[in-house]
Amino acid sequence: MNDALKLHLGSGAVSLAGWLNIDLEAPEADLRLDLRGPLPFDSASVSHIFSEHVIEHIEYDEALRLLQECRRVLRPDGVLRITTPDLAWLVDNYVGALTEGWGELWQPGTPARMINQGMRYWGHCFIYDRPEMLRIFRAAGFGDVRFVEWQKSDDPILVGLETRPLNNEIIVEARIPLRAESDMTVAASRGNFGRGVSDLLAAQGEQLENLRIRLAVSESELTLAREIANTRISAISAESDERGRLLLDLEASHRANQAEILRLGVDNARVLAENASLQAERASVQAEIAGLQAESARLEAENVRLRVETQSITDTVAELHGVHAELGRVRQELERVSTESEERAGHVTELAATLRRHEEYMARLRASLPGRILFRFFKSSSVV
């Protein structure tokens, strides 16, 4: 059986040694194949089929056809192992608002993102819970359906196959009901007891097989119910522990908040006192500012007055410059007039001297005889 054909469906970048690795797009695959169509293998020619996180990427009816094809190609003692995300665990995490349990695979951030992304991301089409996995495997014709643990199996060939980190996936191992023993028993009985006994044994064998299938299904459902109950109990216990821890955290936080409130009250009183002091300082500063503004206004008025006086002085200086220039001109004129006066005074002096000489001459003339005669002549001439 170890040399029989083993199929690794949806292998992606993971190639298992000794297996036929099948994928639609991965270049590492040994065979490119769309798993939504028929499997190109003979019936009862495959001993093992393994598929990790593939079935959730196709629609429900396509998944059913794939499982039926797996049942067709499996040998009567063959095993199908499938892993897929667990809808119940996703919902439990959403209800419990637990968004950080996914490790490096995924960090959704909020419960709403977790439930929506978990259902829709990565090309997901249909997410299963355990009862739905039982239904679809039964509908595909598998009689022995068991839920197993991650990387563990009773079949050594199926041990340690999962490569993705554990995130509470559903892991199923399914087998076809073994009808071969009943058929062999019927064939042997035909040679010893005849056709009638053979038919009876065949019918009894079929009844026993049906009973065995129903018993296996009941055991699977009971196991499922126990696992679901244990999971729920564990979840409730964990939730209770978490709530207890949260309550203790809240109490500690409440005490810390009370202490912080008291500290803030003291700080608030100190801040109020500092604020009052700052208000007083502000009033004082504002008063000083008002005084400075008044002084500034006074200085501005004084500055205006000084500018006016400066302008007046400037005008006066200009006038003085004009007067000084005029005085210079008058001085020059006075000097010229003085010079002319001196010259005229010299002429006058000369004229006076000349006049005196003339007067002296006339006096001498009048005193002389000819002069008296001459004056008398002039007097008589002027009378006439």
Q: How confident is the prediction along the chain (384 residues), in pLDDT tens digits per residue? A: 456 899 999 999 999 999 999 999 999 999 999 999 999 999 999 999 999 999 999 999 999 999 999 999 999 999 999 999 999 988 998 998 887 777 777 788 898 988 898 888 889 999 999 999 999 999 999 999 999 999 999 999 999 999 988 888 999 999 998 543 333 333 333 444 344 444 445 445 545 654 555 565 556 556 655 765 676 676 667 666 777 777 787 778 778 878 888 888 887 888 888 888 888 888 888 898 999 999 889 988 988 998 898 898 888 888 888 888 888 888 888 888 888 888 888 888 888 888 888 888 888 877 887 777 777 776 766 644
> How much of the chain is in helix, strand and coil states, percent to nearest 5?
65, 10, 20
The DSSP call for residue 384 is -
C-alpha torsion angle, residues 131, 134, 135, 136 (rounded to 10) = 120
Compute the distance between CA of residue 341 and CA of residue 297 in angstroms, rounded to an integer.
63
Q: According to the model, what pLDDT value does residue 187 have? A: 39
Please state the length of the chain.
Answer: 384
Q: How far apart are CA 43 and CA 45, in angstroms?
A: 5
Chain centroid offset of residue 7 CA: 46
Position 190 scores a pLDDT of: 41
Domain architecture of the chain: domains with CATH: 5-246 (3.40.50.150)
The CA distance from 117 to 112, in Å, is: 8
Q: What is the pLDDT of residue 56?
A: 96
Q: What pLDDT is attached to residue 50?
A: 98
Long-range contacts of 322-331, Cβ-Cβ distance < 8 Å, separation of 24 or more: none
